[in-house]
Amino acid sequence: MAKDREDDSAAPSLAQQMASVAELIGKGVSQGINEASTKYGPIRQVPITQYHPKTPLNPQGLKEDQRPQLTRRYFQNGFAMLPDRLTDEQRVLLNKLRPGTYLDRRIDVRERYPEGGGQNIVDISYNNLTIEQRLEMKSVVKNLTDMLQQIVAEQAVAA
């Protein structure tokens, strides 16, 4: 039994094993960073004023003033449509909207003129209270972009 204890004490402890693994990982990471910096050069620091992240809504990473601007304020079923949540294509299509009923009277587009001036307001409304109404809309339009494309196409035919 005493011999078993001597063999156990000769083996490295769990803490020693973890320390050696951590040291190996640290050496590997630092070696990788050194190799990458010699191969590609130092990492360029970009000031926040020059940083323009690419997102699904802004895939080119354009500044806000370089993107299409909305000419009016838009609401979809009573909820404001925020410009930073719209793609460039959706912005262009929204600016083309004219008041009327579209897609077999499923979608109603109305324009309001606020008292005292300011931007005009466009309300886009359709029935979506029940599951059946939402499923019916889903069978007609896939998403907001598709809905706007269909409305603008219907406007072009009527003109």
What whole-number percentage of the chain has pLDDT above 90?
A: 62
In angstroms, the CA 74 to CA 62 distance is 22
CA distances from 55 to 23, 51, 123, 135 (A): 38, 13, 27, 29
Structure tokens at 134: 């939402």
- pLDDT given for residue 6 in this prediction: 54
* pLDDT tens-digit readout, 84-101: 999 999 999 999 999 999
Structure tokens at 44: 């360029």
* SS3 assignment, position 71: coil
**Which stretch, 11-15, 34-38, 68-72, has highest mean pLDDT?**
68-72
Name the residue with higher pLDDT: 11 or 139. 139
In angstroms, the CA 148 to CA 81 distance is 13
- How long, in residues, is the chain? 159
> What is the DSSP code string of 29-68?
HHHHHHHHHHHH-SPPP--GGG-----SS-TT---GGGSP
Nearest CA to 128 out of 76, 51, 62, 53 is that of 76
- pLDDT given for residue 28 in this prediction: 93
- pTM to 2 decimals? 0.68
